[in-house]
Amino acid sequence: MSALLELIATVREQVCALHAELTRYELVVWTAGNVSARVPGHDLMVIKPSGVSYDHLTPDAMVVTDLYGVPVAGNADGEWGNPPLSPSSDTAAHAYVYRNMPDVGGVVHTHSTYATAWAARGEEIPCVLTMMADEFGGPIPVGPFALIGDDSIGQGIVETLKNSNSPAVLMKNHGPFTIGPDAKSAVKAAVMCEEVARTIHISRQLGQPELIESSQVRSLFDRYQNVYGN
């Protein structure tokens, strides 16, 4: 087996395993949601197949595409091992992000309840928690409404996040998308996005939560990103 095929096999295993985290943290229902990962050093990505139950996902079911979302045919012997399955309906969005944000190694999309509720209102999640300052460096922004089927959603993700500290965006009337230097980081961002969306929603039932001052947000973000855990 070539080095590239071994690498693709590894990425498939990782992407498959990370989908279990979406169900573990109750971020998805039925077959909705997806995780993708860039194949390091290559213009390829691995993503969940469309319409397949989470209970039936296997590494071999993960679809390899180019960075335009087109499944790769591989060589004449079919060594890519692509399954006879279509990639996720969000593949074009993921691919656009990879093409235009070269530091991104993982993309996640969920319909998690509280984050999606904020997206349905078209309202950013304000930075009122130190945990949010740590993880997101400010509010979680709202991206524009876009239809599924082409890379319009990807364009909205990139335009919204390219000048933001946040690894999460709430696509209006749709749901959260998260990014990271690798797929695991993007999954973590999805989990944390739902956590702060829920907590801040609850806090607003009790009154108006107080924003953290921007200078304090910057200090918290810098410490968490550059000092914490090192």
Question: DSSP letters along 132-189, please?
Answer: HHHHHSS-BPEEPP--BTBTHHHHHHHHHHTT-S-SEEEETTTEEEEEESSHHHHHHH
In this structure, the number of other CB atoms found within 10 A of the CB of residue 79 comes to 13
Tokens matching residue 137 = 């460096």
What value does the mean pLDDT take over residues 18-45? Answer: 97
Of the two residues 9 and 81, the one the predictor is more confident about is 9
User: 230 falls in which pLDDT band (50, 70, 90)?
Assistant: low
Share of the chain above pLDDT 90, in %: 91
* Tens-digit pLDDT profile for residues 84-96: 889 999 999 999 9
Partners of 113 in the beta sheet? Answer: none
Assign 83 a pLDDT band (cuts: 50, 70, 90).
confident
Radius of gyration over alpha carbons of the chain, in Å? 18
Residue 1 has pLDDT above 60, yes or no: no
Q: Which phi and psi (to 5°) does residue 175 adopt?
A: 160, 180
Please give the Cα distance from 177 to 164 (Å, whole number): 14
Least Cα distance to 32 among 147, 166, 179, 176 occurs for: 176
- Asked whether the predicted pLDDT for residue 82 surpasses 60, the reply is yes
Residue 73 binned pLDDT confidence (cut-offs 50, 70, 90): confident
pLDDT tens profile 98-122: 999 999 999 999 999 999 999 999 9
The CA-CA-CA angle for residues 150, 116, 125, to 5°, reads: 110
pLDDT on residue 228? 79
| CATH number of the domain encompassing residue 119 | 3.40.225.10
pLDDT band at 75 (very low <50, low <70, confident <90, very high): very low
In this predicted structure, the answer to whether residue 13 has a pLDDT above a threshold of 90 is yes
Range of the domain at 200: 3-226
Q: What is the DSSP letter of 125?
A: B
- Provide the number of structural domains found in the chain: 1
